[in-house]
Structure 1
Amino acid sequence: MTALRPEVAEFDRDGRPAPEAVATDGEGPGLVQLHESIATLLASRGQWRQAYQHLRSAFDLVYADQDDQPQVPEQLRREVDRLRREHAEAREQSLRDSLTDSYNRRYLDERLVDIVAERGSMAAGLAIALIDLDWFKQVNDNFGHLLGDRVLQRVVELLQEDLPEGGFCARYGGEEFVLVLPDVTAAAAVEVTEAARLRVERHAWASLAPGLRVTVSIGLAYEPPAGDSSTRPPVAPEQQLLRADSLLYTAKQSGRNAVAYRENGRVRLAGAASGRRGIAEPRVAGY
């Protein structure tokens, strides 16, 4: 096979070599070298996806018609490992909120679709908690936006502590966050969210700025496991988020710094807030 220098090879828009650049006698080792060279050039241009495709093609050629483990060139193995790491890191970053490092709305939407598909295998239900920082505008006005950003970051750290397996926190927008708790009982969901509220209330906020105090209000919507014939049909996550938003309104109107949830058809407040009088009714129907 005539050696092809990658610096003179030409490619189409998808990173494939132009037909005139693929002069080869059909020998496997030569094609492996060709794909490696093309991948190196594409990687130097930052075209990682196309480079990865050529490295995969090289691997396929090496493995073709061989029963024994082939000797993959070490340089090729390192390149594939590097591209995999960079692809994984880029994918993870695209799903993270840049300020708080919690998951973003994109991840929330994608993960909820997966959870719906997995519901049939869950022994318990799905809890979605919508969380809003109380009086956060006053924090920004009185202490500045830079400290406000630090408050958001610290709140996320507190919310993410001691979550059950599979649970995660996502930024919903502004100072609103969502806790998603799959495969939990209703009682466990109330316990987890009330513990998160209490961690925020008891945190040493004055260490960030004298006089600073931060609390959150939480609306918790729970759906029993699929196939539970004793309850109403399951609702979509979007509807469950609307119900969590309605219960968040209840928590706000009932004095803030509280978790509002529904039990046996009645709206309740968790923990110390349960003794408050005059619990506001949700602002939307649908239960």
Structure 2
Amino acid sequence: MTEVETVSAKQVVPEDAAVHESMADVLASRGDWRGAYEHLRAAIELQRAQPPPVPDQFRREVDRLRRERAKALEESLLDAVTTVYNRRYLDRRLDDLCGAERGSLAVALVDIDLFKNVNDTFGHLAGDQVLRRVAMLLREGLPQLGFCARYGGEEFMLVLPAVQQADAVRVAERARARIAEHPWSTLWPGLSVTISAGLAYEAESAFGDRRQVLEADHLLYAAKRAGRNRVAYRGWPDSSVIEYCP
């Protein structure tokens, strides 16, 4: 007998059942029925051990369901009007950022000045357009880890982890300037929009009680009292802000 004829399925155990079938064919053609039988039986055992193939239609359906689930999860974290993150996502991320010492963190609470006048003068359709455009302008120029979320109504929040205070102030001030200088009259003749913001900064953010958000809220109202269209922060040249101590 040749070398091929003397090799049994116990001596050579290929992982692929097709290899066993090929060896069975070779041995059978040479009259080695016992060796052919052993390889054929090994091929059958391997095929039984393998999971059945997944039909293409089922695989496509599973992929579709995964995409829909991912889309639904994303939409559940986005504000329906502005498409920035919603309050649900904001609260979750703030819990993560404020729950342990993770370095510096700046939060800027932003409010559209006199937004009720926009709705009363131009209508709620214009109000929704203003909300979307303000959200778009707030997102521009954010640092890599920063994000914008709708806090509620006409209020937004910029969350800026791992930045220096001067950089955080610069981001908020540039956002304020972009919105003030935007050609709003191209949306509705006579329309103008500005924002006020309160920015709270901590070099070591470990505040599970959200003290920073409270400080940002106080600073926002200081900016409003000072005449609106301003960014207020600790050390800002206004006595009410300088004296504020959370």
The one of 225, 228, 232 equivalent to 1:256 is 228
Offset at 1:281?
1.2
Structure 2 equivalent of residue 231 of structure 1: none
Q: Which runs of 5+ in 2 are unaligned?
A: 1-48
What is the rounded CA distance, in whole Å, between the counterparts of 1:286 and 1:71 in structure 2?
67
What TM-score comes out, normalization by structure 1 length? 0.64
Deviations along 1:103-161, one digit per CA (max 9) or x if unpaired, are 111010111122235743x5xx1110000011111111111111111111100000001
Query: Considering only CA atoms, is the larger Rg found in Structure 1 or Structure 2?
Result: 2
Counterpart residue type for residue 240 of structure 2: E
Looking at both structures, which has the greater relative contact order when contacts are Cα pairs under 8 Å and sequence separation is at least 6? Answer: 2
Superposed counterparts of 1:1-287, under 5 Å: 72-116=54-98, 119-120=101-102, 122=103, 125-225=104-204, 234-236=206-208, 238-262=210-234, 266=235, 268=236, 279=238, 281-282=240-241, 286-287=245-246
Counterpart residue type for residue 145 of structure 1: H
Counterpart residue type for residue 131 of structure 1: V
Aligned to 1:147, what secondary structure does the other structure show? helix
Is this contact kept in 2: 1:246–1:283, CA < 8 A?
A: no
Is this contact kept in 1: 2:119–2:126, CA < 8 A?
A: yes
Structure with the higher fraction of residues in helix conformation: 2
What is the rounded CA distance, in whole Å, between the counterparts of 2:105 and 2:161 in structure 1?
5
Aligned length: 198
Counterpart residue type for residue 153 of structure 2: G
Identity of aligned residues (%): 57
Q: Which runs of 5+ in 1 are unaligned?
A: 1-64, 227-233, 270-278
Runs of 4+ aligned structure 1 residues displaced above 6 Å come to none
Could you say what the CA RMSD is over the residues aligned between the two structures, in angstroms? Answer: 2.3
When residues 88 and 199 of structure 1 are mapped into structure 2, their CA distance, relative to the original with a 3 A threshold, is same
What is the rounded CA distance, in whole Å, between the counterparts of 1:119 and 1:76 in structure 2?
46
Structure 2 equivalent of residue 49 of structure 1: none
Offset at 1:194?
0.5
Counterpart residue type for residue 146 of structure 2: G
Aligned to 2:207, what secondary structure does the other structure show? coil
Counterpart residue type for residue 100 of structure 1: T
